[in-house]
Structure 1
């Protein structure tokens, strides 16, 4: 018998309930607020030329925002083009080609503006490109004549598709080319032979390109080989086919995969080994591909820069190639600006901090216009990556944009400044009931809003001091975390939100339930075919919860046939057959938790036992 670990009776919802606890407080939609972009297309938007084009832009706000677009930084007049329309209550563009037109005519850089009377929010700059799968140029290829034992490279040179096609090699009869340490495809699509053998003449070699959007495969005219044989193939020391020479350099962006490649010729076929100068390869991120000819390091960071070298060796000698790796970085957030909700007269700040290599520059905008060209605001001060607001007034409402960029990319963030006078209000249903299993961690939610932002306190059973610290933790969004539930934690919890304009409160009733436990588990058993076997499964559970007991065989739901009898505390199998051998898992579950216990049934020999 076995009990899976960790204990399966742990309430599964606990794994989810601790997510998003530090989220920003949102303004209820019935209150006035500037626009917020809620959905947009990716920055590099590649579309299928056979379909209508969709460029997404959705936003919320009160009043509901209106939308307009720019294309290549100039106003894009949707009304003037009969093929272009904007979805109702949305900024999403639809470009329809059912009545003709070329998608390529609409390529360019698009940006969406969502506007209401309190400000303007911007989408990213969306670069629209149409997928391309150009035809392979026709060419007649002469047979490739090569000496036995010599190295050979068959070049693919695929047409430049968008996105780049997937390359693979096959014969003209569509049989895959067998690849191994001696013959393999490089990252550039070429097929490399470390040394040619007579058997390589038994097939031809065709490079194939598979294009993503059209799902088409284009095949290059095949290469045929003519191998000139000799009495004996001379053994040779390794020599690099790719990259050339003894040293090269490579640049990779932070967060991307680094792929280093070394392909060598030689007789016998060389082995490839990889090293990093002054340290070990990062074991958690490094993996070898293509018969050790490629080293991939996933999600690189600045620490992965340095000198790597590959060693190609056979019994005739060894050579090495050094690759100097530089890790650069497109901008990434250190402190992304967040919406600022203030009451009249309050102070606040927007912070926009990003890092990158080279170090990115920061540009502030307000309602889509450069800040320096906006009307002066004596209550606003710009200090590099921070905007400071003092004694804020209703007239200060706006949407600010921070654009941070370097030669490798950019980040654009919108953050609004909203000035409101709102007494506290509760945002969830009143008097909720939360049931939780003993000794679990749980969360009691109390979403709230007010301006100035209210302070929130929790009390238990309407008395005592504010709950925070020890077994309790209150998060920014008002949620109360109880780290380990005990029986004495059962009761009524009250959250109270207070600001200068008033207070609001809500209650949550917490009930603590006993865990479901299998106290008599099924035992491993060895039985003869044709006999009867019983697997026990006795369960203790909280009587206020509904218990369900089910069985799995080999981790799949068990069908209870006419040879089986399932009772509350056991499973009986009559006339055991060979097919009954396997693992049996008893699953005892309530609406809050579950417990599992597993046993293995082994069926032996022939037993000519009469069926009862």
Structure 2
């Protein structure tokens, strides 16, 4: 190592060990300037440029306490760092595929006959937001309290918000990533989305929130038809988990095929269908809806009406 390199290396050591002190504390060193901040996105290439003049004997680039280059000599083992240009007017190094670890202050130090000159530049690495934690899908009882949590990384620090995206969308904003719902009702169930947004981009993930409750039957109607016609008795139940349906005439279970009828149940709706009503079909019927949380029932009447003249 030649004498000039030793001098600049010793100067660098002084800078490092005296970090945090004013520049004037470095004896005959002086601050040449603070370059404009460099903003770069994660994965891109950044060029660090240091102005030079004929007075300099040797220059070095530092990242915090780490030497990157002294002149043409590379000190870092990082393959992404390389020398781009070293001339009388400029000393440029490049860093490829930058990450958040490259965010921070960089210092160019030049040894001159008048002392050590220091130039500072700040690299700001923008990182897209990434959701790092999200509450899992859950099912809970109606009336319970629930807390949803979402956290994300990124630079600048992302803003986090919650909203329900289905069945009815509405926004619920929480600056700290928490969404608390007190005394939750069945109408607040659905798909919830957490979004993390910064100046670079957006990341979003969803969870399913189920609210369990016992069956509630909608209003039922009596049905009147003449003998020989088709009749349909309907029964609709709101429930989570979905309700199972049963039909009864008086106290006797009505199954598909009995009473010349068919039971069709799908989703929230169950139908008792009579294809050719006879006198024996008239009477009182009950629809029973049940799940593991409860049971509900409703009664209706299938009654006879006179055949119209047009029907013959």
TM-score, scaled relative to structure 2: 0.43
Give the number of the structure whose alpha-carbon radius of gyration is greater: 2
Higher helix share: 2
Q: Which has the higher contact order (CA 8 A, sep 6+)?
A: 2
Higher strand share: 2
TM-score, scaled relative to structure 1: 0.24
